[in-house]
């Protein structure tokens, strides 16, 4: 199974979990800081963490838009 890296649409977010990604990012950071990785692995893991951060940012932006829409809907009533 191939995972999509882009979080630009809701299909790629199916089964995706914000808290799980944050834990993965924290784990990557901990391994990097602890010196548990070879240099090449550090770069690979760093790239992975950056991608996860982008996914998290996209997720939060989408949810913020939903909240803004709901607030706007309430204000219109």
At residue 57's C-alpha, the angle toward residues 24 and 25, to 5°, is 15
Backbone dihedral region of 4: left (phi > 0), alpha (psi from -120 to 50 degrees) or beta? beta
* Predicted pLDDT of residue 5: 45
* Predicted pLDDT of residue 12: 60
Q: What is the CA radius of gyration of the chain?
A: 16
* Predicted pLDDT of residue 77: 65
When pLDDT is cut at 50, 70 and 90, the band that residue 74 belongs to is confident
Mean pLDDT of 54-61: 96
Burial of 28 (0-12, 13-18, 19+ CB in 10 A): buried
Mean pLDDT of 16-26: 96
pTM of the model: 0.74
């Amino acid at each position: 199974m191939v995972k999509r890296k882009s979080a630009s649409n809701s299909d790629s977010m199916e089964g995706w979990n914000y808290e799980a990604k944050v834990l993965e990012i924290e784990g990557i950071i901990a391994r990097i800081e602890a010196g548990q990785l070879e240099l090449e692995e550090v770069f690979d893991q760093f790239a992975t963490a950056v991608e996860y951060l982008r996914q998290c940012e996209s997720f939060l932006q989408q949810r913020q838009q939903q909240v803004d829409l709901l607030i706007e809907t309430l204000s219109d009533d």
